[in-house]
Structure 1
Amino acid sequence: MATERLYLVTYDIADPKRWKYVFKTMKGYGRWLQLSVFQCRLTARRRAEMAARLEELIKPSEDHVLIVDVGLADRVSPRVESLGKTYTAPTRRALIV
């Protein structure tokens, strides 16, 4: 199995229509945490694919996407402090296709 890394992806998209396309795209790569924040476990290939797809969708002069590499997915345990609404960390589940 290819090595997966954990990424936090957050974005600020100026146009609501583009925001919707970015949101739908990100749902295919990770778990939604908040309005414009996703947690993703990705191989290098999937990460490159995601970045390329996002570059096609955004308008660089108006939009901003941050991809934060947290580390090896199996070796990192993010510590999250949540203020306000209850936060439940995403869990990894097997998916049979």
Structure 2
Amino acid sequence: MSSRSVYLICYDVSCPHRLRQVHQFLLGYKTGGQKSFFECWLTSQELRTVRVRLAELIDQTEDRVHIFQLDPRMKPDCFGIAVTMAVNTPFIVI
């Protein structure tokens, strides 16, 4: 079993059609987030798949995607109704 690491994937896509494609694709990997910021727990193979597919979906001259690996040991600051997902919270990636 491969271990998972937490990533924050952020995107800014200028074309509504491509934006919808990127959003729909990332819904299959996200465990949290909102709008164009998704928290994803990925294996190294899933990360490779995400990178390749996002590169195919976006226009390299107009769109932006950032993938940040986060340190799961750090506690996030949550305000308002924001909640954090514990490392051991079960989830399914389909």
Same fold? TM cut 0.5: yes
Tell me what 1:87 maps to: 82
Alignment gaps of 5+ in structure 1: none
Quote the RMSD (CA, aligned, Å).
2.0
Alignment gaps of 5+ in structure 2: none
Q: Which amino acid aligns with 2:2?
A: A
Q: Percent identity?
A: 27
Which portions of structure 1, spanning 4 or more consecutive aligned residues, are displaced by more than 4 angstroms?
none
SS at match of 1:52: helix
Tell me what 1:46 maps to: 46
Tell me what 1:31 maps to: 31
Q: Could you state the TM-score of these two structures normalised by the residue count of structure 1? A: 0.81
- Aligned 8 A contact 2:8 2:38 in 1: yes
Measure, in 2, the Cα distance between the counterparts of 1:2 and 1:24.
Answer: 25
